[in-house]
A and B are shown apart, each in its own frame.
Chain A
Amino acid sequence: MEILKIIGVGLIAAVSFVALRDAKPEIAFLTAAAGCVIIALMLIDYLVEIIVTLTGIAGKVGLDGAIISSILKIIGIGYITEFAAVLCEDMGVRSVADKISLGGKIIIMFLSLPIFTALINLITGLLP
């Protein structure tokens, strides 16, 4: 049933965006941004449930905490960066959107370095 609320909020935000676009484009864009934020806030408690179960399974499998937490960080950064980049693209400022997603990619790359080195050590350890 929650999906109907999400669709409702999205449609209302879209309609108010189009309605205000000619009179006041900057406030029109803010209504679209408000719609995005409201839908994201609605999805938070589902995300909590997903993450709790996933970390539970990962803990059972025996992955150590550092890798799990960096994977979680990477997912969070990807989520937030995409959120901001699409909002900027919606505003028409493609260059800023691309820079935001570039920043997200680089930070994710930076966070995945330890995992990468652990993998390389593992592989070199296996080789004779």
Chain B
Amino acid sequence: MDVSIIFKIAAIGILTAMINQILKKSDKDEIAMLVTLAGLITVLLMIINMVSQLFGSLSNLFQLY
């Protein structure tokens, strides 16, 4: 659980943005949309793992379960 995760997410974001620009220039907009979705889903998966770990430890801590 370190700063590297933020860099990974930012890198995915920049990558998808770049690929989108390239695909838009070669007018393949539907593939650009798919690339956006793919980037978003991978980032969401990473985030969901972290959030579930946080909520698990918090609910253990505060006996919320």
Chain A residues within CB distance 8 Å of chain B: 8-9, 12-13, 16, 19-20, 23-24, 26-28, 30-31, 33-35, 37-38, 40-42, 44, 47-48, 51, 69, 72-73, 75-77, 79-80
Give me 18 A-to-B residue pairs in the complex whose CB atoms sit less than 8 angstroms apart, sorted by A's number.
A8-B3, A9-B3, A12-B7, A16-B9, A20-B14, A23-B13, A24-B16, A24-B36, A27-B16, A28-B13, A34-B50, A37-B47, A44-B54, A44-B58, A73-B64, A76-B58, A80-B58, A80-B64
Inter-subunit contact B63/A20 (CB<8 Å): no
Name the distance in Å between B3's Cβ and chain A's nearest Cβ. 6
Number of B positions contacting A (CB below 8 A):
32
- Which of chain B's residues have a CB closer than 8 A to the CB of A40? 54, 58
- Which of chain A's residues have a CB closer than 8 A to the CB of B55? 80
| Contact for A44 among B2, B10, B57, CB less than 8 A | B57
Inter-subunit contact A38/B61 (CB<8 Å): no
A-contacting residues, B3-22, CB 8 Å: 3, 5-7, 9-10, 12-14, 16-17
Chain B residues within CB distance 8 Å of chain A: 1-3, 5-7, 9-10, 12-14, 16-17, 36, 39-40, 43-44, 46-47, 50-51, 53-55, 57-59, 61-64
